Amino acid sequence: MQWAPVEEQLSLIKRGVSELIPEEELLEKLKKSAQTNTPLKVKLGCDPTRPDLHLGHSVILRKLRQFQDLGHEAVLIIGDFTALIGDPTGQNKTRPPLTEQEVKENAKTYLEQVYQILDPEKTELVYNSEWLGGLSFMDIIRESAKITVARMIERDDFSKRFQANEPISLHEFLYPLAQALDSVHLHSDVELGGTDQKFNLLMGRDMQRSEGQDPQVCIMMPLLVGTDGVQKMSKSYENTIALNDTAEEMYGKVLSISDEQILPWAELLSEYSEEELSALREQVNADPRNAKHDLSWHITSLFHGEEGAASGRHHFETTVIQKTVPDDAPVHQLVAGEDESLISIITGLGFASSNGEARRLIQQGGVSLDDVKVTDVQAMVSLEKDQEVVLKAGKRKFAILAASDPRE
């Protein structure tokens, strides 16, 4: 294998990274890898707690892809065992564990989305139930003896819950241990995680050291700020862009981010070279509008190709700029003369995932009928026979509401 120069590898690996512990060890591992022609084993553990992924998840997946492109071994751990425990990271209360069936169902769609970013031919896929599921109670006691309660309470989330007199279940203490044992089993050289995973990643170093292994290097990636420009991207905050969004949805949603987020998003989500990033920085200062369009095109093309990006831009220009209704807008049939709640229409069309989301969309002024905003969450829609109106939800979703005579 022809390895890229070590300094060049290190520069690419460090791009967008929040924290690297310790950098000098990574440098030595890269040198040894090139000298012995042995790829580094880079580990990323993912608990399939949800069936859908968003761009926030893609940040760390793209970092793993960089290691693949550099010739290193990417190991993707599906945490089918640890998902049954429930990761306590960032939680202010005990997270309810998933059932085995939920984990299996989530894992199916999870992998389909992951391989939009990772090269499946260069990905070693493993399930941590293969080694954690076979541990005896005595094994757990033996491994737990290597960690103190005081060490566990150092975790920020555990510390806050302890001080607030919130319950911490004993099994939650076992989660960082289980994740650390993944590293021991795999003899990983590098582990990737978000900044909220720092404690767990460092626990892996400690456990490897106790087993006489060379400790892994820990690389923490920042948590991507969502489309609202405030909170981390999370479905709970309704500020996500899903990996399986359509090209039109993805293009428009990226355009909705603030100017301040253009460069951080480009650094974390794009495949821009350093030269292209430098040019983008200048463009943001001089022409942020077109810089955002360029970024929207780039990100959309990563998931939908150039044709998808072109479709996304065309859809935005016709529906948002020219304010025309797209030809493929769905038609929702009402019974002439009968009332139907606006909320049920919105959810029925799939423009909102729940009545609560539809209610918030209306309250925030994001819904209109024939260009007239509707802000009453109790609003009912009634049409005469053959009457049609245009429903717009958000900036990019359109539908035709049409009435028919029930006797016909």
Structure pTM? 0.77
Fold of 247-321: Tyrosyl-Transfer RNA Synthetase (1.10.240)
Q: How is residue 336 written in tokens?
A: 């002439």
Cross-strand bridge partners of residue 331: 400
- How far is Cα 330 from Cα 24, in angstroms, rounded to an integer? 57
Q: Which among 267, 286, 281 has a CA at the least distance from the CA of 16?
A: 267
- How far is Cα 217 from Cα 392, in angstroms, rounded to an integer? 50
- Please indicate whether the domains covering 6-223 and 331-404 agree at the CATH topology level: no
Predicted local distance difference test score (pLDDT) of residue 95: 57
Give per-residue pLDDT as tens, 43-62: 999 888 777 899 999 999 99
Per-residue pLDDT of the chain (408 residues; tens, 9 = 90+): 789 999 999 999 999 999 999 999 999 999 999 999 999 999 999 888 777 899 999 999 999 999 999 999 999 999 888 888 766 555 545 556 677 788 888 888 888 899 999 999 999 999 999 999 999 999 999 999 998 888 777 777 778 887 888 888 887 888 899 999 999 999 999 999 999 899 999 999 999 999 999 999 999 999 999 999 999 998 878 899 999 999 999 999 999 899 999 999 999 999 999 899 999 999 999 888 889 999 999 999 999 999 999 999 988 888 766 667 777 789 899 888 889 999 999 999 999 989 999 999 999 889 988 777 898 999 999 888 778 888 999 877 889 898 876 655
Q: How is residue 191 written in tokens?
A: 């582990």
Q: Does domain 331-404 have CATH number 3.10.290.10?
A: yes
Q: How is residue 109 written in tokens?
A: 């769609």
- How far is Cα 288 from Cα 108, in angstroms, rounded to an integer? 39
- How is domain 6-223 classified at the architecture level of CATH? 3-Layer(aba) Sandwich (3.40)
Q: Contacts from 346-354 at CB under 8 Å and sequence distance 24+?
A: 346/391, 346/393, 349/391, 349/393, 349/397, 349/399, 351/393, 351/394, 351/397, 351/399, 352/393
Domain borders along the chain are 6-223, 247-321, 331-404
